[in-house]
């Protein structure tokens, strides 16, 4: 087993993040460190792969909570292997397809009624007369329904 010997500064520099980000990731349970005899944090080299996975996932819109859930599925909190990364990214791709569909729906409906109940637009009485959509829930019901349909279509209801 590889020794935890990399300092906070070395890992932060190599990964292109701030030391405070490393501390935050550790606080969130995304990475782990050990303490040396001088009580300084030390990391195993494999932590850099975990940080790279975190950064890549964040770039495509995966939240830290979603990353944490994915990491928790790995046995013994190990660093993702190539196979693990393929599986994680496949699940995230499905989730992102749902988000893309939602954003497309949002883009296409920005000028129309979104079902929020304000009834201030000329078209709202056609889509939502007397705020009938309030029976379906709160907020922008038309957009929320579009998001739910898109998510279910692309994820099979997984997310």
Listed as ranges, residues in the chain with pLDDT below 50 are 159
What is the per-residue pLDDT for 159? Answer: 44
Helix (H, G, I), strand (E, B) or coil at 42: strand
d(CA 130, CA 126): 10
State the pairing for strand pair 41-42/34-35. Answer: antiparallel
CA 78 to CA 24: how far, in whole Å? 19
What is the predicted pLDDT for the residue at 152?
66
What residues have CB less than 8 Å from 19, skipping those under 6 apart? 8, 9, 12
pLDDT at 78: 79
What CA–CA distances, in Å, run from 100 to 88, 107, 147, 155? 18, 10, 9, 12
Q: Cα–chain-centroid distance for residue 158? A: 14
Domain boundaries, the chain: 1-80, 96-159
Q: Which pLDDT belongs to residue 43?
A: 94
Q: Can you give the pTM of this predicted structure?
A: 0.63
Whole-angstrom Cα Rg for the chain: 22
Statement: 1-80 belongs to CATH 3.40.720.10: no
- Taking only the tens place, the pLDDT of each residue in 124-156 is 766 777 787 788 888 777 777 766 776 666 555
SS3 content of the chain, % helix, strand, coil (to 5): 60, 5, 35
131 exposure class (CB count in 10 Å sphere: 0-12, 13-18, 19+):
middle
């Amino acid at each position: 087993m590889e020794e935890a010997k990399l300092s906070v500064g070395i890992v932060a520099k190599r990964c292109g993040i701030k030391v405070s980000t490393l501390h935050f990731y550790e606080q969130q349970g995304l990475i782990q460190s050990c303490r040396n005899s001088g009580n300084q944090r030390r990391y195993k080299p494999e932590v850099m792969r975990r940080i790279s996975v975190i950064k890549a996932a964040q770039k495509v819109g995966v939240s830290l909570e979603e990353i944490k859930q994915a990491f928790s599925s790995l046995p013994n909190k190990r660093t993702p292997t190539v196979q693990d990364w393929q599986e994680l990214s496949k699940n995230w791709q499905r989730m992102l397809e749902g988000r893309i569909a939602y954003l497309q729906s949002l883009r296409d409906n920005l000028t129309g009624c979104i079902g929020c109940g304000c009834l201030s637009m000329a078209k709202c009485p056609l889509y939502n007369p007397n705020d009938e959509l309030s029976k379906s829930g709160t907020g922008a019901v038309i957009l929320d329904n579009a998001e739910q349909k898109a998510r279910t279509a692309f994820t099979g209801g997984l997310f």
